[in-house]
Structure 1
Amino acid sequence: MSAGKAGRGAGPPRRRHHDEDHEEHGAGHERWLVTYADMVTLLMVLFIVMFAMSTVDEKKYAQLKEGLAVGFGREQSILNGASPISNAKGASDPGEASYEMLLAQVPESQRETVTKILQESDRLKNERAQGAARAEVDRLLKVWKRIDKALREQGLRDDVRATIDERGLVVSLVSQHVVFEPDIAELTDRGRRVVDTIAPVLAELTEPIELDGHTNQEPVKPRYFPSDWELSLARAANVLHRLEDSHGIPARRLRATGFGHTKPLVDPARHGSQRVNKRVDILVLSQQPAETRALMGEAYAELRREAGLDGLPVDPAGDGTGSDPAAAGSPIPGTDDSREDQP
């Protein structure tokens, strides 16, 4: 019985200890809320920086605005279900409009800091893209110079025109020396020599290779094909098979496309242009990101200006030999009018 009393007497101290623990947990909970609020603010800044560095996606934006609403615990005008991308008035750029609206969610005391972070991020992103574009152009120039050297050794340099644009290195097999006979998709003997000279350099690369077939702009129906679309595609496929069957370039790296008469290399009004426009373009496709490839044409033009070639015919070799026949003012050498009216 005395033990029972002792047991009952020991109860109250334990209850007081439990109450003290409860108070300590309550104080810790309040400190956690302060830390949580700081963390939400930092995450919001991170989301804005990531958003500014990417393209605007309306679905992702909707998810982001919902997250911001929860983080700040308050409703705002742009969070009522309407899309700021489609409803922004007076904004020509949806990305700019949504950026301004997101920035409006930042506490005013932090907006200047966030703005500076975003501006610096954009500047660094542009510098990286420009540097990457310049490096890619330099690399493609080295590929071209190897092709150029091989063609010169075989006396075939005049059969090829080349440039670098946002797609990559473009090597055009022009018909100045009858690479393709009129209405015919098969390469001539000289045309096969040109492809065989270029192929070993292409075989050492890893990039995809696109073969673009073209006809001239004369409104004459081909004799052996339903239209110039089929003829241009057949010419591209003929070069593709030469690269695959005779030089072992894997089929997975190759693709053929026909453009008919829609993409002339030279102004069709120029004398002798139809021989050159009848061609196949071999494209070494750059694998750089889209923002880098978009700057490659500008980087190539800058390299030409630095080399003092601005205003001269475009030529990746950098020696002014003239790989763009449209730059010259005289008739294209080596052409005549005897069969210009055939595709």
Structure 2
Amino acid sequence: MSHAKRGRRQVEEEHENHERWLVSYADMITVLMALFIVMFAMSQVDEQKYQQLKDGLAVGFGREKSILNGASPISNSKGTSDPGEASYQMLLAQVPEAQRETVTKVLEESDRLRNERAHGEARAEVDRLLEVWKRIDRALREQGLRDDVRATIDERGLVVSLVSQHVVFEPDIAELTDRGRRVVDTIAPVLTELSEPIELDGHTNQEPVRPKYYPSDWELSLARAAHVLHRLEDDHAIPARRLRATGFGHTKPLVDPARAGSQRVNKRVDILVLSQQPAETRALMGQAYDELRREAGLDGLPADPAGDGTGSDPAAGAAGPTHPRGEDRS
């Protein structure tokens, strides 16, 4: 073979070798893109940060910001204004068409695993809050005060309601009765050992009467919540940073106001042990609690405050003064 032919073959082989890296590079870029999409799909989109990112990209690539103001072209074409969905579509559009089905399956599997993880975490949080409730329940039973309290678990956390079946609050009065103070003092030691924030929600009943000592039932409900807050802080040394009080007036009845005896139950303060789990987990806690109740046949679980028969009737066994409907005050 002549020297010239050997030279040409060597140049061709070198040319082929120089281009071979492009195949590996393209594969690597595709895999990286799929990885970034999966990571993005598993994260929560911050709408404000997403808007900042859009503006930054628009300026960086020399595009007018006005083009990206409002809904993106992708969101318009899909009929959605969800930034997360728009971002997903924008990223997916960058994947080669031959790879999109594979990437979509990866993302769907990621969503399934994330939902399973969130449900498992919600179930674990419900189990933990139930243990807190069992301690409260045991303490109340030892003092003969169990009928003064209703409890449930929802997306906020553990809700312990101080109901007025034994006149926890006198009509028009924000201060707890002697029995009401005993209830709070019995619950407080358990709350002291926790680290979660505690919210006190005050409520009045639904009778259309003006409170005797307050401008409206809003002020009365807030005063009731604040009174319980002060007892927890002053008498039981629960740090003020863990406490907050809110008044809801007559707007959130615990049971149907049309039911006999409902006034004595709806006039109450709710003590909330606020869960610190992520919003995605907390959103599933009510569902996890209902599942747990069904699996356990309601044995040993908090009474249902909805008055649907799963707990004691709020109108049954009530002690203390009774009033004909229309005379029971806030």
Residue 104 of structure 1: CA displacement? 2.3
Which one of the candidate residues 109, 125, 131 is aligned to 2:120? 131
Whether 1:183 and 2:169 are equivalent positions in the alignment is no
Relative to structure 1, is the Cα distance of residues 307 and 271 closer, same or farther in structure 2, using a 3 angstrom cutoff?
A: same
8 Å CA contact 1:272–1:340 kept in 2: the answer is no
Q: Distance in 2 between matches of 1:96 and 1:297?
A: 26
Task: Look up the match of 1:301.
Answer: 290
Q: Distance in 2 between matches of 1:274 and 1:340?
A: 10
Aligned positions of 1:237-316 closer than 5 A: 237-309=226-298
Whether 1:110 and 2:99 are equivalent positions in the alignment is yes
Q: Secondary structure at the match of 1:130?
A: helix
Task: Look up the match of 1:144.
Answer: 133
Q: Distance in 2 between matches of 1:233 and 1:92?
A: 41
Identity %: 74
Aligned positions of 1:142-181 closer than 5 A: 142-181=131-170
* Code of the aligned partner of 2:38: V
8 Å CA contact 1:212–1:281 kept in 2: the answer is yes
Task: Look up the match of 1:21.
Answer: none
Task: Look up the match of 1:14.
Answer: none
TM-score, normalised to structure 1, is 0.78
Deviates more, 1:96-105 or 1:277-286: 96-105
TM-score, normalised to structure 2, is 0.81
Task: Look up the match of 1:337.
Answer: 323
8 Å CA contact 1:270–1:331 kept in 2: the answer is no
Q: Distance in 1 between matches of 2:247 and 2:300?
A: 31
Aligned positions of 1:173-212 closer than 5 A: 173-212=162-201
* Code of the aligned partner of 2:222: L
8 Å CA contact 2:164–2:268 kept in 1: the answer is yes
8 Å CA contact 2:74–2:90 kept in 1: the answer is no
* Code of the aligned partner of 2:53: Q
Residue 331 of structure 1: CA displacement? 7.0
Residue 100 of structure 1: CA displacement? 3.3
Residue 326 of structure 1: CA displacement? 1.7
8 Å CA contact 1:91–1:97 kept in 2: the answer is no
Whether 1:319 and 2:308 are equivalent positions in the alignment is no
Deviates more, 1:249-258 or 1:32-41: 32-41
C-alpha distance after superposition, 1:269-300 (max 9, x if no partner): 11110110000000000000000000000000
Relative to structure 1, is the Cα distance of residues 340 and 134 closer, same or farther in structure 2, using a 3 angstrom cutoff?
A: farther
Residues matched between the structures, number: 302
8 Å CA contact 1:134–1:296 kept in 2: the answer is yes
Task: Look up the match of 1:88.
Answer: 76
Residue 113 of structure 1: CA displacement? 2.1
Which one of the candidate residues 106, 121, 126 is aligned to 2:110? 121
8 Å CA contact 1:150–1:197 kept in 2: the answer is yes
Query: Any unmatched runs of 5+ in structure 2?
Result: 1-14
Which one of the candidate residues 53, 59, 69 is aligned to 1:63? 53
Relative to structure 1, is the Cα distance of residues 180 and 330 closer, same or farther in structure 2, using a 3 angstrom cutoff?
A: closer
Q: Secondary structure at the match of 1:88?
A: helix
* Code of the aligned partner of 2:165: Q
Q: Distance in 2 between matches of 1:269 and 1:222?
A: 20
Residue 163 of structure 1: CA displacement? 0.1
Q: Secondary structure at the match of 2:245?
A: strand
Q: Distance in 2 between matches of 1:28 and 1:114?
A: 30
Q: Distance in 1 between matches of 2:37 and 2:178?
A: 60
Q: Distance in 1 between matches of 2:314 and 2:192?
A: 35
Residue 55 of structure 1: CA displacement? 4.0
Relative to structure 1, is the Cα distance of residues 122 and 320 closer, same or farther in structure 2, using a 3 angstrom cutoff?
A: closer
* Code of the aligned partner of 1:220: V
Q: Distance in 2 between matches of 1:112 and 1:273?
A: 57
Relative to structure 1, is the Cα distance of residues 200 and 340 closer, same or farther in structure 2, using a 3 angstrom cutoff?
A: farther
8 Å CA contact 1:272–1:337 kept in 2: the answer is no
Q: Distance in 1 between matches of 2:237 and 2:18?
A: 70
Query: Any unmatched runs of 5+ in structure 1?
Result: 1-25, 310-317
Q: Secondary structure at the match of 2:140?
A: helix
Q: Secondary structure at the match of 1:171?
A: strand
Residue 109 of structure 1: CA displacement? 2.1
Q: Distance in 2 between matches of 1:331 and 1:62?
A: 53
Q: Distance in 2 between matches of 1:263 and 1:119?
A: 39
Q: Secondary structure at the match of 2:137?
A: helix
Residue 123 of structure 1: CA displacement? 1.1
Q: Distance in 1 between matches of 2:172 and 2:106?
A: 60
Residue 215 of structure 1: CA displacement? 0.3
